[in-house]
Structure 1
């Protein structure tokens, strides 16, 4: 059996729901983790481009 890739391991770790996520529930923690990490990677890779789309960062 092959070892999971770094991305798969990262997704698996993030798919472990935080307490507040457990309380709210999740139909698909794996898909939720993939979406969260994809968005995070976009913000990390292109901070200036994504900054204007964010409601959390001031202009």
Structure 2
């Protein structure tokens, strides 16, 4: 009787672990696009005093 109970308990634990270990992932297909950082933020990251060289409208064509 004790062997049968232990066997049933182990079987139940095994089935539970098997069922909970299954995982699925859903992909939407649309990649996340990152926005360009603002000129002021780029200035802060590089430690510059002016954001002029990071602003697209302030860059001169050579």
Give TM class, smaller chain. Answer: 0.3 to 0.5
Higher relative contact order (CA 8 A, sep 6+): 1
Q: TM-score, normalised by structure 1?
A: 0.33
TM-score, normalised via structure 2 length: 0.32
